[in-house]
Amino acid sequence: MTTFKKNLLATAVASGCAMLAGGAFAQSVGSIVLNADGLGEALIYPYYTARGDQKTFVSIVNTTTLGKVVKVRFREGKNSNDVLDFNLYLSPYDVWTGQVTREAGGSVLYTNDTSCTDPIKADWALNPAAGLYGQPFFPFDYQRVDSLAGRTGAAQDLDRTLEGYMEVISMANVPEGNALFNAIKHDPSTGRPANCSLVSGLTGSANVLAPTGGLFGGAAIIDLSATKTGGTGIGYGATAYGGFARPGVIFSPSSANPNFGDHNATSAVITDGNNRVVQVQPTAGGVLGAAQSFAMANMAERIVGEYSVDTTNLTAHTTDWVVTMPAKHYFVNRATWLTTSGDPHGQVGPSPAGALAPFTTMWSGVNLNACEQVLPTSTSREEDRETSRLGFSPQPPGATPNSLCFESTVISFGKGTGASGVLQSTNNLWYLGNHARNSNGWLELFFNQAGHRLTGTALGSFNPTGAAGPVTVFGLPVLGFKAAVFRVSSSPALPLNNYAEAQPLHAVRRVQ
């Protein structure tokens, strides 16, 4: 029978956290680092979408001689609630691929990859053709969290699963020679694993080692529509992390573990805007400190990037920014920090009365947002500089002007309305601060409101002053990319040609 998560196994999650905290699998602590080279033991893919005629193709690559057991988790974009997860078994040098597409109003993950998964492929809900397996995404997590946050009306439907982001987290390495390694290893004569049935329901620490790095991956968003932005492809690489100091434990595919708040790292390594490497231990301890360590590794006081737009014809040329705030859900949901049991994010701790730093606003089940005010400042190619001349629209319910309200927000450039211009996102804003003289240029988003900061202790020589002492990390955890599309023709008599590009957004970090 299928073991895809269809409800919340709070007891199992709580016991998993207790094992990690109580010492059954205890090991030395680590320090989280964001690896600019793209290889790591955990990956974040900042955006997937299946809106309109778009499909998102994803890949995960194991570059090592070891087998790897990883958790693959998709989170919806509004509040990062879990909509699908499963365990994936990668053999040495293995590549797993899948695609997210839209069916029956929601997202479905399809794969024809032969790498072992738990649930095994026979338990995936959809088997439309030999060798192709599909699993629809689930709404249960966000429906529950919204009801705890004050929602009394109709539950959110599957449309909310159509965009979000993806996590990949290593649970264990599998050394050569044991039965599990032999089962997941691809047979050179057939190209298929020897015995995927062995991994069905497999949990625990037997025959596995602590996870290490060596993973990378990427995504390609393909628009197949015949109009507007159709016929384009936008690709990006996943963001990689290391240093979690996890033990080698395989959790059930129905468990919320592992996640970015249940690890053993007690600090983060940050390269700030002055090219200083700073190791910071958060003031908080326990599970809150673990979540803060991950947040610190991603925190930026501002992000910068280019944009370009045809203000007279947005369908011909416009730009979207994907701005994802990984770990936000740990700090803005009362449902996240429970006193007696685990939650969908695998945390145990006191329920906060309000949002926890570095965030300032709790998730509202009424407004379906948790808004953080930011300061946009744009500069044209002719050096015209303006601060929030018009700003973002529309203003979300309950939000102050110029607020980002979702875990993954898409910003479109131009005086548009409705879904975003490139990615067709509905978790979106339009930036209207275009210059009269030149509508192209670059934008800074400042995360510098009161409360957008975390305090901690700089350790040893990593301190900017060369000695251990108190420091503050400014901003919010954020990552993302720019996506632009161009539709041009050399002659009115000739058809339009579509072109697309993607570039990472750049983070400016401050520690003092």
150 in a structural domain = yes
What average pLDDT does the segment 13-17 reach? Answer: 31
Residue 18: pLDDT band with limits 50, 70, 90: very low
Do 212 and 156 sit in the same domain of this protein? yes
250 in a structural domain = no
What average pLDDT does the segment 75-94 reach? Answer: 97
Do 349 and 231 sit in the same domain of this protein? no
251 in a structural domain = no
- Over residues 390-444, the pLDDT tens digits come to 688 898 898 999 999 999 999 999 878 899 999 999 999 999 876 666 788 999 9
**Total number of domains constituting the chain:** 2
- Over residues 336-383, the pLDDT tens digits come to 554 334 443 445 555 567 899 999 999 999 999 999 999 999 888 888
310 in a structural domain = yes
Q: Enter the DSSP assignment of 200.
A: T
254 in a structural domain = no
Do 188 and 300 sit in the same domain of this protein? no
Mutual orientation of helices 10-22 and 286-298 as an angle, nearest 10°?
A: 90
CA distance 346 to 3: 18
List the one residue out of 485, 490, 491, 457 whose CA is nearest residue 473.
457
Q: What is the pLDDT of residue 164?
A: 98
Task: Say if CB 88 and CB 251 are below 8 A apart.
Answer: no
Q: What is the 3 state secondary structure string of 329-347?
A: HHHHCHHHCCCCCCCCCCC
258 in a structural domain = no
Do 350 and 292 sit in the same domain of this protein? yes
Q: Most confidently modeled of 167-176, 253-262, 340-349?
A: 167-176
Residue 27: pLDDT band with limits 50, 70, 90: very low
257 in a structural domain = no
Do 213 and 343 sit in the same domain of this protein? no
Do 233 and 281 sit in the same domain of this protein? no
Instruction: Tell me how far apart the 2 most distant CA atoms of the chain are, in Å.
Output: 72
- Over residues 443-463, the pLDDT tens digits come to 999 999 999 999 999 986 665
Do 176 and 272 sit in the same domain of this protein? no
CA distance 425 to 207: 44
Do 281 and 183 sit in the same domain of this protein? no
Q: What is the pLDDT of residue 242?
A: 97
What average pLDDT does the segment 270-293 reach? Answer: 89
Q: What is the pLDDT of residue 106?
A: 98
Tell how strand 428-431 and strand 408-413 pair up: parallel
Residue 450 belongs to domain spanning: 268-508
- Over residues 189-225, the pLDDT tens digits come to 999 999 999 999 999 999 999 999 999 999 999 998 8
Do 87 and 126 sit in the same domain of this protein? yes
Do 235 and 274 sit in the same domain of this protein? no
Do 237 and 107 sit in the same domain of this protein? yes
Q: What is the pLDDT of residue 13?
A: 27
205 in a structural domain = yes
Do 327 and 225 sit in the same domain of this protein? no
DSSP states along 366-400:
TTTB--EE-EEEEEETT--EEESSS-EESPPTTPP
CA distance 27 to 245: 7
Is 291 a residue whose pLDDT tops 70?
yes
